[in-house]
Structure 1
């Protein structure tokens, strides 16, 4: 009996020894495996870090590894990585991404693209680069229908520069190619009326165009105002029956786009209405007042 117990105990001891040996071997293998394994991060996180560090070489490596489509990814907050480069003030990284083919129309959840972001940060280098690569960005809109020029809050020089870029872009396009993305329905309808108005009745034609220009100033219809002024369909200082010009209405309604356009085409900033009001007297925000006070100075600098 004692011999049987002893044998059982020996058997248990051998089994335990074998298990310990197996565990030791497994632990050794796991340790070796961990040493070989490296932590990896998603491509967008890696690219975001490279942008924050201003590391162009790392960005190039990431593009080589993942392809150029990586440039169109968003960071974990939903911001396009191209926007992140502007946000981080890393122009060289931004320039590299643009030149490598990043989608310049990529927008965040509120519809802001890279130009909207660059204008909000008053980043002239980024603005010039974007417009050089994709001029049509000047006419894009956010979910709230804000164009890049509408994001410009207090910088008169930048406002004038953007307006000049918009006018330059308009000159490259036929009126028939304007669409609802650039013009509101009412503006397009008015534009069609102005284009087909009866030329035989000179007085009626002039009244229609004057009314259209005044309305474009009140509603900030840049395309309509541009078409009439560029094609010399009427004079920039044409008046209504109370001697109001389009500039008076643009100042009153803070129609920044049309206001700068009118100044560019030589509108008289000192002209008085029948109640002796100048455009400056009718303006109530600082940017409008500054543009009117400085007149053509900013426009000349932007051209």
Structure 2
């Protein structure tokens, strides 16, 4: 295996661990465990605490309890409910290699192309874990092999196994997908949306979970043309996400010097400290010195 392939494989394995850690110990995981513990306690016929339906649904899916999942759906549970990290039950079933639950959820209407907070689709999860049968099933049911995550990676880019790579490459060729164009698609769409806002015919909303704005994304990824248009739209240059980061934090953290210069020229407040004070100061020190 070439050095670049080894590097990609190691990175994908780390992402797999990150995905698992999102669930383990998360609010949804704890809620499910607590719910099961309370309901099975001797003499406790009724749980003392009522849990949110979405959390109960996620826990039931994770436990592989199809009857309970079906009943919750009949009661109105949202099959595409996502936890705080944007993971849906389908994401989790893919990570857990629970092919039966994957099939059940997809046949019940789960969105095979929904991304989590980092833009990972269920196919990204299956590809990174090397679960070939699940990946095939997702593709057969409409999963986009040309979809990119927040890092601009296709499922192919996070695949760790040769057989997975061959499957995805074959599907990309079959569908005639231009991978370079696919990787640039987010920037193209963002520029189109920004132009619509500038023309007064569009609007932009922050991410529902992270509260990150288009300005944060453009700054972090160095989408300079998008950033220029957004800054003309009168968007609050100092808007903060749920971690207290501004677009300047994002640009500085990811080393986007041109984006930092643009934001500074538009009088962003470089003294704002994020919710993680020490980390924010360390991240921005070099750029403070640059502008001073």
TM-score by length of 2: 0.44
Question: Max radius of gyration: which structure?
Answer: 1
Structure with the larger helix share: 1
TM-score by length of 1: 0.43
